[in-house]
Amino acid sequence: MNAPVIGNTPWTREEFEQQLRDKGRGYHIYHPFHVMMYEGKLSREQLQCWVANRFYYQISIPQKDAAIMSNCPDKEIRKGWIQRIIDHDGDANSVGGIEAWIQLGQAVDLSREDVTSLKFVTPGVRFAVDAYVNFAKQRPWQEAVCSSLTELFAPHIHQQRISSWPSMYPWVKEEGLVYFKKRLTEARRDVEQGLAVTLDYFSQTRELQEKALDILQFKLDVLWVIADAIMLASTDIKVENNVDYLRQPR
Ligand SMILES: O=C(O)c1cc(C(=O)O)c2c(n1)C(=O)C(=O)c1cc(C(=O)O)[nH]c1-2
């Protein structure tokens, strides 16, 4: 007689949400580069490199969200989702996150052109960010929504920067923290919508629930690889004869 297949019963909605939240153990807050950032161990050049590279993520987020909307036939979801594009691009009443990130660049002594020209963006960061945008273009919109759920863990890392930078990097101008402060409330609101969609769409079977966890892992990997690439680009790794093999000649 066959035993019941207990392993395949779906988790309850609460258990499934907890499984998603548990993925926070792989968040890029634990990446050595972000740990060093929090502990005040980054050089001025390393912090500048991070800001210049992360700008490519910032400008790609609204394109990613527009891709989700273009694939979504549900008017009510689009009505909520469009706020994310406004948060980053701004509107008649507010400047938006992209402009706030340029202000962060200026706060770490980069020029507007240094940031917006993308001249410091390293290939690994481009590949990782483009993989995220392409995922949103090519996959069903509910899967792309699920991939945004790393935002569950983002308020913690934004708060770390708000708390630690003034003492660890006193040379950074105060206006630089505006972006992170803005995201504290925006990310919490985003997560409510993203989590509701994910719990509704993926809850029917255990296979779907596990697929959601895999999608979240893909996005955790995107963020991890971005940090790897920035660390490599901003850290002097000298090998034989002082040749820096790891920098791409341009
Ligand atoms: O600074 C960070 O560590 C961090 C992480 C993430 C994230 O977890 O994806 C986002 C942001 N910031 C952020 O500022 C942001 O606007 C954002 C949007 C999204 C998304 O996937 O839609 N993630 C993030």
Q: Tens digits of per-residue pLDDT, 124-139?
A: 999 999 999 999 999 9
pLDDT of residue 248: 55
The reply to whether ligand 1 has any atom less than 6 angstroms from the CB of 61 is yes
CA of 5 relative to ligand 1 center, distance in Å: 38
pLDDT at 21: 97
The confidence score (pLDDT) of residue 187 equals 84
How much is the pLDDT for 236?
A: 73
Closest of 189, 184, 193 to residue 144, by C-alpha = 193
Contact status, residue 128 vs residue 228, Cβ threshold 8 Å: no
Which ligand 1 atom is the nearest neighbour of the CA of 34?
A: 3
Sign of CA dihedral 220, 226, 135, 189: positive
Which atom of ligand 1 is found nearest the CA of 54? 1
CA distance 139 to 222: 16
pLDDT of residue 188: 85
230, 50 contact by CB (below 8 A): yes
CB 31 within 8 A of CB 227: yes
Q: Which distant-in-sequence residues (6+ apart) come within 8 Å of 141 by Cβ?
A: 68, 69, 71, 72, 77
What pLDDT score does 235 carry? 86
* CA distances in angstroms from 7 to 19, 166, 183, 185, listed in the order given: 15, 49, 39, 38
Nearest CA to 214 out of 123, 130, 139 is that of 139
pLDDT for the residue numbered 189: 87
Instruction: Spell out, as residue ranges, where the chain has pLDDT lower than 70.
Output: 1-7, 237-250
Q: Which atom of ligand 1 is nearest to the CA of 151?
A: 8
Q: Which two tokens stand for residue 181?
A: 């402060």
Residues 6+ apart with CB under 8 A from 226: 28, 53, 54, 57, 124, 125, 128, 129
Calculate ∠ Cα 124-164-25, nearest 5°: 55
Rg of the Cα trace of the chain? 20
Which ligand 1 atom is nearest residue 180's CA? 14
Cβ of residue 161 lying under 6 Å from some atom of ligand 1: no
Residue 14 is predicted with a pLDDT of 96
- Rounded Cα–Cα distance for residues 194 and 81 (Å): 9
* Site to substitute for ligand 1 among 151, 220, 222, most atoms within 8 A of C-beta: 151
pLDDT given for residue 151 in this prediction: 96
d(CA 202, ligand 1 centre) in Å: 22
- pLDDT for res 234: 92
